[in-house]
Amino acid sequence: MAKVSPYHTYSPEYPREVYHDKDTCPEGKRIKPEHKQDGTGGKHHCKECDKVG
């Protein structure tokens, strides 16, 4: 597990209310690179990222 720069998405294909910062997060890994946006977007931290970190 490595911490990465925070990212989030506004794409309706994914949960949009959280941001991710772990490279092993299963939810974050589903987000396609073209749908990732840098930063937290003012969102809550992903609970799955908490579990893997």
**Predicted pLDDT at 18:** 97
Distance, in Å, from the CA atom of 37 to the CA atom of 31, rounded to the nearest integer, reads: 10
pLDDT at 14: 87
pLDDT of residue 53: 65
pLDDT score at 33: 96
- Enumerate residues 6+ apart whose C-beta is below 8 A from 36: 7, 8, 9
Residues 11-50: tens digit of each pLDDT? 999 888 999 999 999 999 999 999 999 999 999 999 999 8
